[in-house]
Amino acid sequence: MPKEQRRGRRIAMTAEELDRFLGEERTCRVATVGPGGAPHNTPLWFVWDSSALWLHSIVKSQRWADIERNPAVSVVVDAGREYGELRGVEMTGSLEQVGEVPRTSAPDEVLADPERRFAEKYFGTGGDFVSDGRHGWLRLRPEKVVSWDFRKL
């Protein structure tokens, strides 16, 4: 269970608003710790299952190498153009490298769900997800979630 947001509670999203927002938005920015300790920030597609953020990442990327060295991350998803429209979520914690989803006759339910959600969200298909062998799954079970919705001001 993530830590409760202490500041800005008046503009914080409810659990339902958070789920809806993360279901609609398409791109997050993932900040990892680079080899020299500097931040490395990259955009990435994601799916949210109400408890974990699932990222589909190239396994031969700087992001993947950063996570092998240090799994600490900050992920931001935001939207809005005008001040009164701004809304977003920041999640922090440690990414887990899940890798490729096993291909068996009885798929692992924990891993099959992100594939279905990802296929529906980005390709509009009912689970027709085909991995290209170059990507793997990363899972963030956030330790802290901070959200804001300036439309509540």
pLDDT at 97: 86
Of 104, 99, 79, 97, give the one whose Cα is nearest residue 89: 79
φ, ψ (nearest 5 deg) of residue 130: -125, 120
pLDDT at 9: 81
Give me the mean pLDDT over the 75-99 stretch: 94
Residues 98-134 pLDDT 10s: 865 444 444 444 555 788 888 888 888 765 666 677 8
Domain membership of residue 2 (yes or no) is no
User: Cβ(147)–Cβ(5) under 8 Å?
Assistant: yes
Query: At residue 91, does pLDDT exceed 80?
Result: yes
Q: What is the CATH number of the domain that holds 147?
A: 2.30.110.10
Domain membership of residue 3 (yes or no) is no
Q: Are strands 72-79 and 87-99 parallel, antiparallel or unpaired?
A: antiparallel
Domain membership of residue 78 (yes or no) is yes
Which of 23-32, 58-67, 131-140 has the largest mean confidence? 23-32
8-state DSSP, 3: B
User: Cβ(55)–Cβ(63) under 8 Å?
Assistant: no
> Taking the alpha carbons of 40, 122, 95, 19 in that order, is the dihedral positive or negative?
positive
- H or E element that contains 67: helix 62-69
Separation of alpha carbons 107 and 94, rounded Å: 25
Q: Which domain holds residue 136?
A: 9-152
Q: Give the chain's domain count.
A: 1
Residues 46-73 pLDDT 10s: 999 999 999 999 889 999 999 999 999 9
Query: At residue 41, does pLDDT exceed 90?
Result: yes
Q: Terminal CA-to-CA distance of the chain, rounded, Å?
A: 27
Query: Length of the chain, please?
Result: 153
